Structure 1
Amino acid sequence: MKDIIIIANPSSGKKQAEEYAAKAQSLFEDNQRQADVRITESEEDIVKYVKEASSNKYDTMILLGGDGTVSKAGESLKDEEYRPKIGIIPTGTINNIARGLGIATNIDQAVEDLVNCKEQITDVGMINDKLFLSSISAGSIPETVWEVSKDQKEKFGSLAYFIEGFKSLREEENYSIEMTIDGKEMKVDLTLLVIGLSNSVAGIPNFFNEATYDDGYLYLFGLKKSTLGEKISVMTSLLNDSEALSDEQNKGFVIPFKQGSFKNDHNLNVALDGEKGPCFPFDIKILPAFLTFLVPEN
């Protein structure tokens, strides 16, 4: 078994991956640990180096990148018998997976925390045959997520998503969704559907207030057709964990569940961990205790 492999995506977010890969390697060596560095040049390289980490049985795999990099790495481990522990140095735009795990989004702090960390066994989600580590969403607002260009991300950072999302509020469309949630059937018209694994969604802390990466549940948020004022009211109740959100007269609702199927008459794609994902219909379920991440000791 080898010790540590550092996989750095230089095209991610702040484009500082190579610099911090060298810093992390030096820090590990100062703590008597051997770290090999791999720099990716394409998405295919992420898959190649993750497979190398698995086949060579590296104890730990450190990922320098954003949500897309971490999600791709998790997906690449889906069918592997051996899955190394995963550390994250978040250099992306939103870094929602790191936020949900309690990993510092300050890059220097995240690097330092890797030498004083603990293991956290985490759940993942499965949509059709693909893993996801953060969230999936559907509706006019999520469509803007995967339409945000790399140039917009570099220029505006996380604000790029909110700029495009705000534009879509005036263009929202109502979708009729047929859902079977843990065996219970329901049909509802929604403008926004979000399914997440942790409390953090799109960089918003406490979006799903009670959710954790190891509780064995997925969490669904549905937003019905509503005015801008009603949307603000719903989101305020959601983020404040208000019991008013469960009132059927309100425009939004949250459901914890373990597996479900979703149908829609439109050829609607979901956003999957910030990228364009599969389209309706889809099946989704929780895979409990699937990966092990390194998180800060404190």
Structure 2
Amino acid sequence: MPKRALLIVNRKSRSGTSDLNAVTERLKRSGMDVLPWALDRPEQIPEMIRRHAADVDLAVVGGGDGSLNAAAPALIETRLPLGVLPMGTANDLARTLQIPVDIDQASDIIAGGLLHRIDLGRVNDRYFFNAAHIGLGVHAREHLSTDVKRRWGVFGYARSLFKALSSFRPFHADIVCDGRRKRVRSIQISVGNGRHYGGGMTIAEEASIDDRLFFLYSIEPRSIWELVRYAPAFRAGKFEDYHPVDIERGRSIRITTSRTMRISADGEAVSHTPAIFEMIAGAVTVYVPPAYLESRKEEIHVAQG
């Protein structure tokens, strides 16, 4: 029997005005029965998934990381597999899973039917796929309007970060990671579940969205010129040789800060400190390309020596 697919496209995402009929036909040609919906707000996505869960075999979400985050609670509840159509600005989950931004190619990956279980992070009862932030990155969001994202694309993230640096004050934080306690003075704390965030920045070169681990880093206060010098390390996720960065790995993290700080997850404001991070291992099943599983086999082999 053909697979029955619920197709949801967020029209407000960067490429959300793409032809819904064309995407529908592409999936139909692969043998699927498709139920298409175009929505204007990400918060409508989970209700749509719950409403049609009994009538379909998979949920395909077209949008950015915010749209995918919105779908997460309903995906866990319904246990529907997820097909990813990258239509946002950053598309960091797609980047982590090696899903191309070309919609036809992404549709072919869903049609290929190769499924893989990935982890979800949860901070103060809000789910995230990629990374959550406390500090400078959250402050930078105030300079990252929808218009800036549409005009500058992924370069809008760097533009907003430089604007935020001039007005942000450092803070102190107590971090407890799997029972290990550390006190830091920081301008930015990031907790990653996946490998990429912020339009292609790398949380750590060895991070994976299916390794059941968070990767945390905290950046000590430095001048803007020093931070610019460290930019290649942040892009590649290679921090070991850089003193201003504290690194932790673990499955359970608690962070308290000297003043109440906002928390963002995958580009959306979600909560405030204190923050409790929990790892939800293997929470979502997603369609992935064969190249992703091949790369994971190679990485695991290298890690095991």
Per the normalisation by structure 2, the TM-score is 0.88
Residue number in structure 1 paired with 2:91: 95
Kindly state the Cα deviation for residue 13 of structure 1 after the two structures are TM-superposed.
1.1
Residue number in structure 2 paired with 1:182: 178
Kindly state the Cα deviation for residue 50 of structure 1 after the two structures are TM-superposed.
1.6
Kindly state the Cα deviation for residue 66 of structure 1 after the two structures are TM-superposed.
0.5
SS at match of 1:203: coil
Residues 195 and 219, structure 1, Cα contact 8 Å, conserved in 2: yes
Q: 1:229/1:156 Cα in 2 relative to 1: closer, same or farther (>3 Å)?
A: closer
Paired residues, what number?
Answer: 289
Paired with 2:238 and 2:6, the residues of 1 have a C-alpha distance of 40
Residue number in structure 2 paired with 1:60: 58
Kindly state the Cα deviation for residue 154 of structure 1 after the two structures are TM-superposed.
1.9
Structural RMSD (CA): 2.0
Paired with 1:166 and 1:232, the residues of 2 have a C-alpha distance of 10
Structure 1 runs of 4+ with >6 Å offset: none
Residue number in structure 2 paired with 1:26: 25
Paired with 1:274 and 1:199, the residues of 2 have a C-alpha distance of 15
Kindly state the Cα deviation for residue 237 of structure 1 after the two structures are TM-superposed.
3.9
Kindly state the Cα deviation for residue 100 of structure 1 after the two structures are TM-superposed.
1.1
Paired with 2:68 and 2:237, the residues of 1 have a C-alpha distance of 29
SS at match of 1:244: coil
**How big is each residue's C-alpha offset from its partner over 1:225-258, in whole Å with a ceiling of 9 and x where there is no partner?**
112343244443452635424xxxx101221110
Residues 138 and 262, structure 2, Cα contact 8 Å, conserved in 1: no
* Structure 1: gaps of 5 or more residues: none
Paired with 2:262 and 2:23, the residues of 1 have a C-alpha distance of 38
Per the normalisation by structure 1, the TM-score is 0.90
* Structure 2: gaps of 5 or more residues: 292-305
Q: 1:110/1:67 Cα in 2 relative to 1: closer, same or farther (>3 Å)?
A: same
SS at match of 1:114: helix
Kindly state the Cα deviation for residue 120 of structure 1 after the two structures are TM-superposed.
1.4
Residues 135 and 195, structure 1, Cα contact 8 Å, conserved in 2: yes
What is the 5 A alignment of 1:167-206? 167-204=163-200, 206=202
Residues 193 and 222, structure 1, Cα contact 8 Å, conserved in 2: yes
Larger deviation, residues 108-117 vs 223-232: 108-117
Paired with 1:8 and 1:91, the residues of 2 have a C-alpha distance of 9
Paired with 2:237 and 2:133, the residues of 1 have a C-alpha distance of 21
Q: 1:38/1:240 Cα in 2 relative to 1: closer, same or farther (>3 Å)?
A: closer
Q: 1:171/1:86 Cα in 2 relative to 1: closer, same or farther (>3 Å)?
A: same
Larger deviation, residues 200-209 vs 85-94: 200-209
Query: Pick from 66, 80, 83: which aligns with 1:84?
Result: 80
Letter in 2 for 1:244: D
